[in-house]
Chains A and B, each alone.
Chain A
Amino acid sequence: MASKIDMAIAALLIIAIIVPSGIGAYMIGKLSSIEDALKPPAAPTKLLRVGFAWPTFIDPAVGSDYSSSTAFTNLYDPLLFPTTTGDVKPWVATNWTVSTDGLTWTFTLNDSIKFHSGRPLKADDVLYSMERLITIGEGYAYLFSPYVNLTASTAIDDHTVQFKLDKTFGPFLITLARLYILDKEEVTAHIKEGDFAKEWLLTNDAGSGPYKVKEVVLEDHVYMERFNDYWAEMKPNSPDEIRMLALAVPTTERTMLLKKELEISSQWLPEEVLAALKKAGLVTGSHVGGDMFYFMMHCNKTPTDDIHIRKALAYAMDYETVVEEMYLDNPLAKCVVPISLAGAAELTMYRQNLTAAQEQLQQSKYYITGPADIPEIEVHWCAEVPAEERVAMLFAECAVDIGLRVKVVKTPWGSMITEMADQDLSPNIETIFVAGHYAEAGSLLESRYHSKSAATWEQNEWLLNDTIDGMIEDALSEVNVTKRYEDYAELERYLLDLCPSLFLFDHLVKYSYQPYVIWPNVLGESIPVMGYNIDGRTIEVVPPE
């Protein structure tokens, strides 16, 4: 019986092998050869594949995160282009004038720009792009909606556009690096049920940038191919195609980099993976992210409502260990906003000083007989960023050194957003990275400390301070750059003294990339505006022979 069973099993095995092979052979047999079936078509010689975290919305009136902004840089032209110093240079607009009251801005446009559709870029397109952005109200609309008067703004002729502001806004020029120009005719042709063509623009573009959309599969990839009629200068070895790939697992990313299936990693690779890849011959590069890592202290909740407790914590924290052992090489904070932002003044920041911490503690209203009287401090760190846990634990240890009790809580991002929307639910401290959306200190000062940002995830401090609000508004309305920067500096000193946050470090965005990629933005020429550092205009790909 056993031998027959063996035969039966053997037969089953043979069938299991032969049947699929037969089907495969039948199909392959329809081709001229097996090689033809397995050999992919010739690849573009200069391919730039970059890892990203989804979502990537390629509609400039919808996206405002890192990957969306990177897509805009390559698919669209902004009205003005940001520079490495945080300023802007002529781009779609070649020159401009401003009225003496600072309310009327007139821009002359470059007349040689063509959209991917082949139509010339005109003033009407610029005006429409601004109208569409503000009307939809998402993406970077918040930069313009409080200031731009759409009814009064006009296209004077094909190459001159005029924006009227309701009130003066000092950084207006700098924010125009976020006004991406869309082809009005192309967009209006794809409007469906008054949706401003939002659905069409999920997977298509209407830009004039150096690359145009080849294929978009939501949650998976954005493929962009070179636009041959691009007007501005491109490097000789600029990529033929840029492929943004949604990656989620570091091991997959690492394998892809080692197999040369990825040219540039995402910005989220752990330090140990970066080190291992460097050992394997890949290059590690970095640029300033324009963001800072904050411990946001609730100024209206016991016991962090007491400035002495906040200062005691600021003096107790071991900042050096954070950048030496956890977030390697990230520069310690030099200001209350990243020092790379224009208008950030270099200040004397809090550093670990346990004596000063004890002194501050003893001045606290909660300190009656000793530190044990002080209520427990709750710190919430973002569950999706595991590296933050180590910093939170270090902070707890430092607090214990001066006799304070700290409870560290792992909190999912969704819960953080919910609790930060309510002053009572917000914990004593939230640990979050926050970036400016244009390269000037005013951007972060407003989003971090103005009362209107309380109840959003950008402010757990709940400062609700009229003096600070007034100082921010005055600074932002100042058209004179020198005076505006002086206003920022005064505000920064004021905030540092108030100590509403722990200012840990300016974030250095790190990547692992292939040695055959020439990437000036990570070699000292970075642009301190999110999304402008992976730019097909400046990156070169020279694959080995």
Chain B
Amino acid sequence: MKMKTYIARRLGFALFSLVGLSILVFYLARVIPGDPVMMMVDPRTPPEVIEELRHALGLDKPLYLQYFFWLEDVFRGDLGFSVYTRRSVTTDVLEYLPISLELVILAALIEVVGAFILGVLAGSHAYKWPDNLVRISSYIGISIPSFVWAIILQLIFAWQLSLFPTSGLLSSNIPSPPRVTGFTSLDSLIAGRFDAFVDVIWHATLPAFALCIGGMTQDARMIRAGMVENKDKEYIAMATSQGLPARLVMFKYLLKPSIIPAVTVMGMDVAAMLGNAFLVEMVFMWPGFSRHAINAMYRSDLNTIVATVMVIGIIFAIVNLITDIIVAYLDPRIRLMERGE
């Protein structure tokens, strides 16, 4: 019951933030330079056609009315018309979002597993060579931005070693599986097309690594720091002195409190990946949501800008909520604090 209250409060905060975000983004998208209709048509298009398009897009109405109509449409599942792709924004979101999500999910998996392995390795060998190695790797991992990683990985593994494809979602000779969920890997499995499934994972590997190296190494450092800090705590000494097996002390009493800060950061990292993936998607020609969002911004595609920011905001809120729940589960003090105890 207490946990339910905690979740409900978090959900309330998230909804409040999203409404605020929608107003802010809606306004900002409309004050950035670049007339979307002029960007859409040839400069020699007759003025009456331009006015007609402006009217059809509702751009001739006051800003507050535009927001009201947009909100009304959103509740009907219509995110508006894209002047960039010339079709419904909802269609675009449904097409591009799963493609980015499958990349982000793979990157998140690599980040979590990699961070635990590296963090525990460094924490359990503090001040020894594995720790130093992880530390140096972490500095490199954190300091190099993901798009540089993308180019480095592409040059080494795609060009020099030819172990991975240079770009794209599928090899040019692999036909796309029939669209069911929009997740190409999942659709491949549904269609029994294992060749396509293997091909998608093969194509996603380098961009996923490029996307998660920074976060993974940062999280590893945090886990390591937590372990080193907690190792000398009295409850660990007590557990060890009571003769509990080292493995139990390690995973139950030392690791659990040590990973809490890292879990929070991991959650943020994973949520931010979707928005930050655009350069990686561009380098690897991954036809995803982030690349689409940036292209739409260049074209002053108002409805797409608002929709993409809102989708990223919603995903951020969901991941944040999940992270809060995990942290609350791991750390009873947080639950108690929420209850004012």
A interface residue numbers (CB < 8 A to B): 1-2, 4-6, 8-9, 12-13, 16, 24, 27-28, 30-31, 36-43, 47, 49, 54-55, 57, 62, 64, 137-142, 145, 198-199, 202, 215, 217-220, 243, 245-249, 251-252, 255-256, 258-259, 261, 384, 412-415, 417-419, 421, 437, 447, 453, 456-458
Contact = CB atoms under 8 A, between A and B. Distances in A.
Given A40-B174, A258-B159, A415 B33 contact: yes
Given A49-B172, A252-B283, A447 B33 contact: no
Contacts of A43: 172-173
Given A28-B198, A421-B35, A40 B249 contact: no
Nearest to A55: B84
B84 A246 contact: no
Contact of B167 (A30, A138, A252, A415): A252
A218 B82 CA distance: 12
24 contacts: A1-B246, A2-B124, A8-B247, A9-B121, A12-B120, A28-B198, A31-B195, A39-B195, A55-B299, A137-B45, A142-B46, A198-B86, A202-B87, A219-B291, A247-B285, A252-B154, A252-B282, A252-B284, A255-B158, A256-B167, A259-B158, A414-B33, A415-B34, A417-B38
Contacts of A417: 34-35, 38-39
A338 B282 CA distance: 34
Given A24-B198, A252-B167, A258-B159, A4 B34 contact: no
A215 B295 contact: no
Contacts of B295: 54, 219
A259 B166 contact: yes
A458 B174 CA distance: 43
Nearest to A223: B172
Given A64-B42, A414-B298, A456-B44, A36 B166 contact: no
A202 B285 contact: no
A138 B45 contact: yes
A27 B35 contact: no
Counting contact residues on chain B (CB < 8 A from A), the size range is 35 or more
B181 interface: no
Given A259-B162, A447-B44, A418 B33 contact: yes
Interface string B248-272: 0111000000000000000000000
A252 B282 CA distance: 9
Contacts, number: 182
B300 interface: yes
A55 B86 CA distance: 10
B246 A62 contact: no
B246 A220 contact: no
Contact of A37 (B189, B194, B287): B194
B340 interface: no
Interface in B119-168: 120-121, 124-125, 151, 154-155, 158-159, 162, 166-167
A42 B41 CA distance: 41
Contacts of A447: 43-44
B77 interface: no
Nearest to A243: B172
Contacts of B120: 5, 8-9, 12
B43 A458 contact: yes
B280 to A, nearest CB: 10
Interface string B28-65: 00001111001101111110110010000000000000
Contact of B176 (A198, A215, A255, A419): A215
A1 B38 contact: no
Contact of A16 (B117, B155, B169, B174): B117
A415 B297 CA distance: 12
Contacts of A36: 195
A448 to B, nearest CB: 11
Nearest to A456: B43
Contacts of B240: 1
Interface string B172-203: 11111000000000000100001101110010
B209 interface: no
A58 B33 CA distance: 28
Given A259-B162, A414-B32, A57 B86 contact: yes
A256 B166 CA distance: 7
Contacts of A9: 117, 120-121, 124
Contacts of A202: 85-87
B116, B167, B295: most-surrounded residue (chain A CB, <10 A): B167
Nearest to A13: B117
B41 A27 contact: no
A384 B121 CA distance: 46
A419 to B, nearest CB: 8
A333 B195 CA distance: 54
A251 B33 contact: no
Nearest to A220: B287
B282 A249 contact: yes
Contacts of B175: 41
Contacts of B287: 217, 219-220
Contacts of B121: 9
Contacts of A456: 38, 43-44
B174 A142 contact: no
B96, B173, B292: most-surrounded residue (chain A CB, <10 A): B173
A218 B195 CA distance: 24
Contact of B43 (A12, A141, A199, A457): A457
B237 interface: no
B276 interface: no
Contacts of B292: 219
A4 B113 CA distance: 20
A413 B117 contact: no
Contact of A142 (B42, B159, B250, B300): B42
Contacts of A1: 240, 246, 249-250
A9 B249 CA distance: 14
Contacts of B66: none
